[in-house]
Amino acid sequence: MKSLHAVNVAATKVCHYFYPEVKQVHTNLGWEQEYFLVDEDLYFARPDLMLTGRTLMGHDSAKNQQMDDHYFGTIPERVQAFMKDLEIQALELGIPCKTRHNEVAPGQFELAPIFEECNLAVDHNMLLMSLMKKVAHNHSFRVLLHEKPFDGINGSGKHNNWSLSTDNGILLHAAGKTPGDNLRFVVFIVETLIAVYKHNGLLKHRS
């Protein structure tokens, strides 16, 4: 809350050079959740998967992500049914899921919601990960959220798309159609880069 307040105060002051009517700047977060789906029967045949959420023994799989062909393929019907069920239950909880697609590794998928206020987005992501496990079980799947469940291929990453917007709906990190709007875009991009450069230790800190 303190960091969001600090960003609001500083960004609002900069905003007044371009839009004097702005009273508040909101911090937005749009996360993308990658995950693996494993058939339950195969999952139960691997004690390492059951205990740790990743493989610890055995040789590499015969097919990895060499051709990236899974990424361009259609979503399997069982997975489609899981995704649809998950999205309906997520919407009932107020989580606005939007994107669904294959990811680059075999058995890897991704979902993403419409961006929200930062704290709410984090809460929704935590809630959704729990919901994914419950819904997957109902479809005879197990969800792997480990950051590197299989050696040699992509992991279950989480990408965060961060931005600022004003209380009257202006996205400050979006390029504009006028020279003034483009100047605002460049200013906020540069300010963000300078903040990351000066305070990168804070961003890397883990409590």
153 or 62, higher pLDDT? 153
Query: Does the pLDDT value for residue 166 go beyond 90?
Result: yes
| Residue 53: band (very low, low, confident or very high) from pLDDT cuts 50, 70, 90 | very high
| Residue 206: band (very low, low, confident or very high) from pLDDT cuts 50, 70, 90 | low
Q: Domain-by-domain residue ranges, the chain?
A: 31-161
* Alpha-carbon gap, residue 93 to 63, rounded angstroms: 37
DSSP state letters, 185-202: HHHHHHHHHHHHHHTHHH
CA dihedral 192, 115, 178, 10 (to 10 degrees): -40
- The domain defined by 31-161 folds into Creatine Kinase; Chain A, domain 2 (3.30.590)
Query: Does the pLDDT value for residue 13 go beyond 70?
Result: yes
Q: Output DSSP code: residue 135.
A: H
DSSP state letters, 92-129: HTT--EEEEEE-SSTTEEEEEE--EEHHHHHHHHHHHH
Helix (H) or strand (E) holding 32: strand 25-39
